Amino acid sequence: MKKALITGVTGQDGAYLSELLLGKGYEVKGITRDGSDIRTTNLSYLGILNDIELIQADLLDLSNLLRVIKDTAPDEIYNLAAQSSVGLSFQQPIGTLEFNIISTANLLEAIRSIKPETKFYNASSSEMYGRLRPENLPVTEETVLHPVSPYSISKASAHWITINYREAYDLYAVCGILFNHESALRGENFVTKKILEGALRISKGMLDKITLGNLSISRDWGYAPEYIKAMWLMLQQETPDDYIICSGQANTLENFTKKVFAENRVDYDKHVEFSEKLYRPVDLEIIYGDNSKAKKNLDWKYDISFDELIKKLVEDESKFFEWKQSKGVN
Residues designated as active site: 125, 127, 151
State the DSSP code for 145: P
Q: Are 24 and 95 in contact (CB under 8 A)?
A: no
Distance of CA 292 to the CA centre of its chain: 20
Q: Which of 192, 197, 237, 240 is nearest to 219 (CA)?
A: 192
Q: Are 301 and 295 in contact (CB under 8 A)?
A: yes
Apex 136 CA angle, 289 and 120, nearest 5: 45
How far separated are the first and last CA of the chain, in Å rounded? Answer: 36
Report the residue count for the chain.
330
DSSP bridge pairs for 210 = 272
Burial of 314: CB neighbours in 10 Å, binned 0-12, 13-18, 19+ = buried
Report the alpha-carbon distance of residue 179 to residue 227 in Å, rounded: 9
Q: Which of 62, 59, 56 is nearest to 32 (CA)?
A: 56
